A = this chain, B = another copy of it.
Amino acid sequence: MEKLHAIDREYRHLERTIAALQWDQETYLPPEGVEERAEQLALLEGIAHRRLTEPETGKLLAEAGSSAENPRGDASLPALERDFLRVMRRRYDRAVKLPPDFVTASARAEGLSQAAWAAARQNNDFAAFLPHLRTMIGIARAKAEYWGFGSGSSTRYDGLLDIYEPGMGEAEIGVLFAVLRNRLAALLKKIQGCTPPDTSFLKQSFPIEQQAAFNQKLMDYIGFNRRRGRLDTSAHPFTITLGSDDIRITTRYFPHNLLSGLFSVIHESGHALYEMGFPPELRGACLADGASMAIHESQSRFWENVIGRSRPFWDGLFPLLQNFFPEQFAGVSAGHWYRAVNEVKPSLIRVDADEVSYSLHVILRFELEQQLIAGALEPEELPAAWREKTKEYLGIEIDASSPRSDADGVLQDIHWSMGSFGYFPSYVLGNLYGLQFTRKLRQDIPAFDNLIAAGNFGQIHTWLKDTIYRWGCRLEPAELLQKVTGEPLRVEPFLEYIEGKYGELYH
């Protein structure tokens, strides 16, 4: 066990070193340093991969009684060690099952594909990306096969899902998403018949220095410990862990869009609080990690939406925001602001979507990638299928001959160009987990809204730590949800939240 822990620690340090190089690449790397940085990263990734997949690791896991069928090993071991074995086994199996040549070839193809995607998006040229998309689908299918996708009834797509959301299958997701899709599409239609809120005061200039200064206050306000992390800017917001006490987030600023930078900071802070909150006994080990992509997303969306887009939150914080932008917000009340930042307005772009339409963007992608992986949809049919579903779910007609028809359509997200099929559902599952957790939290802390209005997040932090963060990835998502709420995954808590909040907002 000691030797396994040593391997884990080393692997972890290498992962964090890679994270440091990646963080730097997205924030401060001089433009011409990009090429050599890619070589450095490839070398480090190779070293990390070799460290994990040394035959010694497999031998030690087997000696500890861990196998693919019984990953937790000998039942007489302490629970913490058994969970550790499960996670090590999972990572080891996933890594050794892919032939090294396949890994190298996929990495190269992924690089080419991403570059082709970026150019294709720029030029609204789906045809230029098509051969790469085909390759990426092939690689994803091959990966699922190498990993073996579980028992007889499971599908290739299930095998891919398992990377991001262990234990979750496409059939289960399909059932949940079908309900969501119908209820959300219906709600959206109703809202579109209502009077929109006044958002004119958002269409002003917000100097970037002021935005950045406010965001530092905002981070302090919600309890981001800046001795253990920091905020920088990058092209796309992200959270990255460089060490147990070094969790960094980024945002981006637009001088005429205050909301983008601000809500990204709350969202990424939600991820960071999770990473900062793992208990000491998991420190530096593979168990100090989120339970899954969707559980991570449940945390970021909880802070961004449930707290950050709530009325009590801005009752407490709006006066400070007003101090930072006194001219822009003269005569604007917390109530005006609250309604404006919750405007529902379907658009083509997922990352700009409101809470109601967001899930529809994701469901659309889930359904299409399911079909791509199953071979039920040919890659060349994708743009047309995209337009059809966009019309059906979001009520937006895309003119196929418009100059950004595919750029703002099927080419808008990077995921498929990287071969990340099975990732999209995490975003919506995160919403579902998040609201199920919230319901329990509200039961345990009845003063929830008052605490938020008072900017007093101590009890909420403690609850999250004691209930969710403490487990790291010791539990699979479904186990964690069961332990916290006593229930399996359900759509109702999320739908009730959405229908309640937006029913009220739009009368």
By a beta-carbon cutoff of 8 Å, the part of chain A in contact with chain B is: 10, 13-14, 16-17, 20-21, 24, 28-33, 35-37, 39-40, 43-44, 47, 226-230, 232, 242-246, 248, 284
Contacts and interface: CB of A to CB of B under 8 A. Distances in A.
B21 A246 contact: no
A149 B62 CA distance: 51
A275 to B, nearest CB: 12
> Is chain A's binding surface mostly helix, strand, loop or mixed?
helix
Contact of A20 (B14, B20, B32, B246): B20
Nearest to A16: B40
Contacts of A230: 28, 30
A245 B33 contact: yes
Given A13-B43, A29-B246, A32-B227, 17 more contacts: A10-B43, A13-B40, A16-B36, A17-B44, A20-B40, A28-B232, A30-B226, A30-B227, A30-B228, A30-B229, A31-B227, A32-B246, A33-B228, A33-B242, A33-B246, A36-B243, A37-B246
Nearest to A276: B32
Contact of A47 (B39, B47, B284): B47
Q: How many copies does the complex hold?
A: 2
7 contacts: A10-B43, A13-B44, A14-B43, A20-B20, A28-B230, A32-B246, A33-B245
Contacts of A30: 226-230, 245-246, 248
**Residue among A10, A30, A227 facing the most chain B CB atoms (10 A cut-off):** A30
Contacts of A17: 17, 21, 40, 43-44
A252 B14 CA distance: 31
A16 B14 CA distance: 14
